[in-house]
């Protein structure tokens, strides 16, 4: 079956070999269909023509003039060499300026002729300027000037340098359309089009490029977004089905003595109902015969460790070993300490700790015991991933702060078992639902959405430099009450030009305000060796330093209940989720805690919104939604490291949550009856899904 959309793009009139190569390299456009799936990122109204005298400021993004050329001159030399064209429309004069392609433009512009001029206005000494505008003759043959709403396409510098600007792209799209129209095959099954009341593909492609009106454009966008998100959801969910079919899970059928003894005798407090619910969800997975792959989201301090411990005891009760991996030594130690303390001496559960600094003798013995099945719970860092670490029967793996590990690293841990163990990945970085559905779409998600009782929400204030003395006075007050303080800086070394406080300057100021020997200030920053960092952190943990001055290295899970104040310097430079993480370091004890956001007086609108949100709410999910609205999904923590797994052409995860939910539902409905999309009637959907195959999920492509 040949589809016109699959034809190579070089056959589109106006493209040819050379441009085809460029289009592929720059925009990934290989086929005619790719060209038609290059959507305008906005539209301009080419029906409106401005008078030059009307333009009083540069608030408009684009304007269109109809004006006559009065003078034309090349001025300047070297990089300043430019073509200046003076035009007039009777109401006033404007200057058009070109720095590039002078000869080409000069040839195309004639004195005294009238042109439609289109570009971004700026005022320069009161004169209206347009740099590199589009210019078209209003007369004669070959005039392509057509009033109407027109798409603006994304270009790149190499494209523009080769005379493929947004308008050229529009022309190429027009040409492609002429070849394709009447031969475009629908990509969605009729039932789905009907059920979700979607525009057909032909009309959608037409209207996305040449919108007839607002309503049609909206319907076209909806259809194309739905298609895009449906393809991704089908891909993710079909892969998940495949994984489930391939991997039978260990069946943990009993909740036995270890769990019960601990639960009834050792638990120092009642579980929150969120913790109970999550433990139930995990138990159900563990007993189902399916291999569990679950993401546990829970705000800092929500009690994820306890959930990990209780569920590891279930693994033990069923005769399997369990392991928990943390991203830093200090966290691994923290887990080890709290787990052994919670279990107590008499539990009979054999817990061990393995990190990079475990002594050889201890390590050798430990590895032997591990392989002999004499260790029940192994706590550790990346050191767990080394080849010589062998378990006797690893049945359950917990990964804390999962975003700190690469996909491959995580996978290495579960390869240590002949059969894939049950997996729980935990994160304190709340991820908006829409993002989670896409980023972690093949994981089941549990959420702890409730804090243990008795916690006082952290009080947050936003100060600027004029409040610095007040801030220091407050710190003194708290420290003199016996509490400890974090002060966090965004960077270690600043570039000269910027006036942000840096850690070193800040250190001098703080030591001056809190001089030895009465006060001790400990510094920890990202460029220090891990061992030195841990040493410094431990000093603070033991209460031997009053102030911990740090770059954001303390972000992850450290627990110092006595610390009651978090000061964040140049807070405007942190993202919302990072600010939230940092704030989560305090408020872990019984005392009222405080977070002080220091910023410069002058702030961008976005920074102000971020800091205001921090003052207004302590809800991590609310903040993560807002972060996504403000910055777009690409910057939300958790995606920075791995990047977005899918490139979206038209849908937006921050804005199209509702469409995503619909697409998700549609995907689930289809896959329920046909888990791997193998039925003949689902071949269209299968194709849609496979557009999203990546390196990581090549498994799924292999079964076709
Ligand atoms: P996180 O989810 O950030 O990893 P932790 O597991 O470190 O949180 O728990 C934070 C603190 O809350 C710990 O000191 C823990 O003992 C305590 N905690 C956990 N669950 C409860 C509960 N149900 N009631 C009271 N305190 C709890
Ligand atoms: Mg934790």
Q: What is the pLDDT of residues 223-272, one digit of tens each?
A: 999 999 999 999 989 988 888 888 888 999 999 999 999 999 999 899 99
Planar angle of CA 306, 310, 314, nearest 5 degrees:
160
What confidence category does residue 496 fall into, taking pLDDT thresholds of 50, 70 and 90? very low
Ligand 1 pocket test target in 263, 298, 299, 301 with most atoms within 8 Å of CB: 301
Distance 302 CA to ligand 1 centre (A): 6
Beta bridge partners of 297: 427, 447
Show the beta-strand stretches assigned E in 569-606.
Answer: 594-599
- pLDDT of residue 330 exceeding 70, the answer is yes
Nearest CA to ligand 1 atom 1: 301
What confidence category does residue 701 fall into, taking pLDDT thresholds of 50, 70 and 90? very low
Indicate which atom in ligand 1 lies nearest the CA of residue 305: 6
The residue among 142 and 625 whose pLDDT is bigger is: 625
Point out the domain boundary residue: 596, 617, 638: 617
What confidence category does residue 415 fall into, taking pLDDT thresholds of 50, 70 and 90? confident
What confidence category does residue 616 fall into, taking pLDDT thresholds of 50, 70 and 90? very high
Indicate which atom in ligand 1 lies nearest the CA of residue 306: 6
pLDDT of residue 209: 92
- 381 with 387: CB under 8 angstroms? no
Distance 581 CA to ligand 2 centre (A): 11
Flag whether 349 is in a domain.
Answer: yes
Using CA atoms, how far apart are residues 6 and 31, in angstroms rounded to an integer?
A: 5
* Same domain, yes or no: 379 and 414: yes
Q: Which ligand is nearest to the CA of 341?
A: 1
**Runs of H (alpha helix) within 151-297:** 157-161, 166-180, 190-195, 201-209, 214-246, 257-261, 273-287
Using CA atoms, how far apart are residues 56 and 609, in angstroms rounded to an integer?
A: 30
What confidence category does residue 166 fall into, taking pLDDT thresholds of 50, 70 and 90? confident
Identify which of 596, 576, 550, 557 has the alpha carbon closest to the alpha carbon of residue 458.
596
Flag whether 225 is in a domain.
Answer: no
Instruction: Measure the CA dihedral 78/80/85/89, to 10°.
Output: 180
Paired tokens of 688: 């849609």
pLDDT of residue 556: 55
Q: Which ligand is nearest to the CA of 620?
A: 1
**Tally of structural domains, the chain:** 4
* Same domain, yes or no: 11 and 80: no
Strands 293-298 and 422-427: parallel
pLDDT of residue 155: 87
What confidence category does residue 19 fall into, taking pLDDT thresholds of 50, 70 and 90? very high
- pLDDT of residue 596 exceeding 70, the answer is yes
What confidence category does residue 139 fall into, taking pLDDT thresholds of 50, 70 and 90? low
Nearest CA to ligand 1 atom 26: 452
- Collapsing DSSP to helix, strand or coil, 549 comes out as strand
* Same domain, yes or no: 407 and 386: yes
* Same domain, yes or no: 469 and 415: no
Q: What one-character-per-residue DSSP string does 682-698 give?
A: GHHHHHHHHTT--GGGH
| Average pLDDT of the chain, as a whole number | 86
Least reliable range by pLDDT among 133-147, 259-273, 344-358, 512-526:
133-147
Q: Which ligand is nearest to the CA of 448?
A: 1
Indicate which atom in ligand 1 lies nearest the CA of residue 300: 3
Mean pLDDT, rounded, for 458-480: 95
pLDDT of residue 553: 59
Least reliable range by pLDDT among 19-28, 443-452, 511-520:
443-452
Flag whether 198 is in a domain.
Answer: no
Planar angle of CA 573, 574, 578, nearest 5 degrees:
175
Distance 587 CA to ligand 2 centre (A): 14
* Same domain, yes or no: 468 and 603: yes
**Domain range for residue 138?**
48-147
For the ranges 209-223, 401-415, 661-675, the one whose mean pLDDT is highest: 661-675
For the ranges 231-235, 495-499, 623-627, the one whose mean pLDDT is highest: 231-235
Flag whether 249 is in a domain.
Answer: no
Mean pLDDT, rounded, for 579-603: 90
Q: Which residues contact 119 (CB under 8 A, 6 or more apart)?
A: 62, 63, 96, 130, 131, 132, 133, 134
Flag whether 412 is in a domain.
Answer: yes
Q: Quote helix, strand, coil % in the chain, to nearest 5.
A: 45, 20, 40
Q: Which CATH number characterizes residue 14's domain? A: 1.10.150.20
Q: Which CATH number characterizes residue 367's domain? A: 3.40.50.300
Q: Which CATH number characterizes residue 92's domain? A: 2.40.50.140
Using CA atoms, how far apart are residues 548 and 537, in angstroms rounded to an integer?
A: 8
pLDDT of residue 498: 44
The residue among 591 and 545 whose pLDDT is bigger is: 545
Point out the domain boundary residue: 565, 585, 617: 617
Least reliable range by pLDDT among 97-111, 223-237, 592-606:
97-111
Q: Which ligand is nearest to the CA of 455?
A: 1
Residue with tokens 């740099």: 131
Flag whether 197 is in a domain.
Answer: no
Please name the helix (run of DSSP H) or strand (run of DSSP E) that holds residue 210, with its range, or none: none
Distance 588 CA to ligand 1 centre (A): 9
pLDDT of residue 140: 45
* Same domain, yes or no: 366 and 415: yes
* Share above pLDDT 70 across residues of the chain, in percent, rounded to a whole number: 90
pLDDT of residue 634: 55
What confidence category does residue 642 fall into, taking pLDDT thresholds of 50, 70 and 90? very low
* Same domain, yes or no: 463 and 521: yes
CA–chain centroid gap for 624, Å, is 10
Using CA atoms, how far apart are residues 427 and 416, in angstroms rounded to an integer?
A: 22
Ligand 1 pocket test target in 295, 305, 582 with most atoms within 8 Å of CB: 305
The residue among 702 and 262 whose pLDDT is bigger is: 262
pLDDT of residue 243: 82
* Same domain, yes or no: 61 and 126: yes
* Same domain, yes or no: 527 and 559: yes
* Share above pLDDT 90 across residues of the chain, in percent, rounded to a whole number: 53
Distance 435 CA to ligand 1 centre (A): 26
Using CA atoms, how far apart are residues 484 and 540, in angstroms rounded to an integer?
A: 8
Flag whether 82 is in a domain.
Answer: yes
For the ranges 235-249, 296-310, 419-433, the one whose mean pLDDT is highest: 296-310
* Same domain, yes or no: 367 and 409: yes
pLDDT of residue 484: 96
Distance 398 CA to ligand 2 centre (A): 12
The residue among 482 and 527 whose pLDDT is bigger is: 482
Planar angle of CA 596, 602, 604, nearest 5 degrees:
95
Using CA atoms, how far apart are residues 327 and 556, in angstroms rounded to an integer?
A: 9
pLDDT of residue 628: 79
pLDDT of residue 138: 67
**Protein residues whose CB sits closer than 6 Å to any atom of ligand 1:** 269, 271-272, 275, 298, 300-306, 428, 452, 557, 559
- pLDDT of residue 212 exceeding 50, the answer is yes
What confidence category does residue 59 fall into, taking pLDDT thresholds of 50, 70 and 90? confident
Point out the domain boundary residue: 617, 634, 663: 617
pLDDT of residue 144: 45
- pLDDT of residue 390 exceeding 80, the answer is yes
What confidence category does residue 389 fall into, taking pLDDT thresholds of 50, 70 and 90? very high
Flag whether 175 is in a domain.
Answer: yes
Compute the radius of gyration of the chain from its Cα atoms. Answer: 31
Orientation angle between helical segments 530-541 and 329-343, nearest 10 degrees: 40
pLDDT of residue 454: 81
* Same domain, yes or no: 14 and 132: no
* Same domain, yes or no: 71 and 166: no
pLDDT of residue 559: 80
- pLDDT of residue 385 exceeding 80, the answer is yes
Distance 300 CA to ligand 2 centre (A): 7
Identify which of 356, 348, 425 has the alpha carbon closest to the alpha carbon of residue 389.
356
What confidence category does residue 657 fall into, taking pLDDT thresholds of 50, 70 and 90? confident
């Amino acid at each position: 079956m040949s589809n016109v959309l699959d034809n190579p793009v070089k056959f589109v009139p106006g493209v040819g070999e050379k441009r085809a190569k460029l289009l592929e390299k720059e925009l990934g456009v290989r086929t005619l269909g790719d060209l038609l799936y290059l959507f305008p990122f906005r539209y301009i109204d080419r029906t409106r023509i401005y008078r030059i005298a009307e333009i009083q400021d540069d608030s408009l993004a684009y304007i269109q003039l109809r004006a006559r050329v009065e003078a034309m001159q090349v001025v300047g030399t070297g990089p300043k060499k430019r073509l200046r064209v003076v035009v007039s429309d009777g109401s006033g004069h404007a200057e058009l300026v070109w720095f590039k392609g002078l000869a080409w433009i000069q040839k195309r512009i004639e004195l005294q002729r009238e042109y439609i001029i289109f570009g971004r206005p700026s005022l320069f000494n009161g004169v209206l300027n347009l740099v590199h505008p589009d210019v078209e003759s209003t007369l004669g043959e070959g005039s392509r000037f057509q009033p109407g709403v027109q798409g603006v396409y994304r270009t790149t510098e190499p494209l523009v340098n080769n005379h493929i600007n947004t308008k050229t792209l529009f022309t190429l799209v027009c040409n492609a359309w002429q070849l394709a129209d009447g031969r475009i095959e629908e990509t969605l099954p009729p039932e789905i089009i009907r059920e979700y009341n979607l525009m057909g593909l032909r009309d959608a492609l037409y209207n996305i490029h040449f919108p007839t009106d607002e309503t049609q454009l909206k319907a076209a966008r909806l259809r194309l977004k739905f298609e895009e998100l449906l393809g991704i959801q089908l891909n993710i969910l079909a892969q998940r089905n495949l994984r489930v079919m391939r991997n039978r899970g260990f069946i943990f059928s009993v909740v036995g003595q270890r769990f019960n003894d601990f639960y009834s005798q050792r638990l120092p407090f009642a579980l929150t109902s969120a913790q109970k619910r999550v433990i139930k969800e995990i138990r159900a997975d563990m007993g189902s015969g399916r291999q569990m792959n679950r993401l546990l989201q829970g705000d800092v301090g929500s009690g994820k460790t306890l959930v990990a411990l209780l569920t590891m005891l279930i693994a033990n009760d069923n005769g399997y070993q369990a392991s928990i991996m943390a991203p830093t030594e200090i966290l691994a130690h923290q887990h080890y300490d709290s787990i052994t303390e919670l279990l107590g001496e008499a539990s009979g559960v054999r817990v061990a700790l393995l990190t990079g600094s475990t002594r050889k003798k201890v390590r050798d013995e430990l590895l032997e015991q591990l392989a002999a099945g004499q260790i029940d719970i192994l706590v550790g860092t990346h050191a767990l991933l080394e080849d010589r670490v062998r378990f006797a029967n690893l049945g359950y793996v917990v990964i804390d702060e999962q975003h700190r590990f690469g996909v491959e690293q995580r996978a290495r841990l579960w390869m240590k078992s002949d059969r894939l163990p049950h997996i729980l990945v935990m994160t304190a970085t709340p991820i908006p639902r829409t993002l989670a559905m896409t980023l972690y779409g093949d994981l089941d998600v549990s959420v702890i959405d409730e804090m243990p009782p008795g916690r006082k929400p952290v009080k947050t204030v936003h100060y600027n430099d004029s409040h610095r003395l007040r801030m220091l006075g407050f710190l003194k007050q708290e420290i003199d009450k016996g509490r400890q303080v974090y002060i966090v800086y965004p960077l270690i070394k600043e570039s000269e030009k910027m006036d942000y406080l840096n850690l070193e300057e800040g250190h001098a100021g703080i030591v001056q305000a809190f001089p030895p020997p009465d006060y001790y200030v400990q510094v920890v920053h990202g460029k220090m060796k891990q061992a030195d960092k841990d040493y410094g952190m431990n000093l603070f943990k033991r209460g031997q330093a009053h102030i911990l001055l740090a770059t954001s290295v303390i972000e992850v899970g450290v627990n110092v209940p006595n610390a009651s104040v978090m000061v964040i310097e140049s807070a405007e430079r942190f993202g919302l989720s990072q600010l939230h993480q940092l704030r989560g370091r305090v408020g872990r004890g019984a005392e009222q805690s405080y977070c002080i956001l220091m910023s410069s007086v002058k702030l961008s609108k976005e920074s102000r919104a971020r800091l205001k949100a921090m003052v207004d709410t302590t809800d991590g999910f609310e903040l993560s939604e807002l972060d996504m609205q403000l910055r777009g999904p690409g910057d939300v923590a958790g995606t920075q490291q791995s990047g977005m797994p899918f490139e979206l052409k038209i849908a937006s995860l921050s804005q199209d949550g509702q469409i995503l939910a619909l697409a998700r539902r549609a995907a689930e409905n289809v896959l329920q009856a046909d888990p791997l999309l193998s039925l003949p009637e689902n071949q269209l959907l299968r194709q849609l899904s496979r557009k999203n195959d990546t390196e990581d999920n090549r498994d799924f492509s292999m079964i076709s």
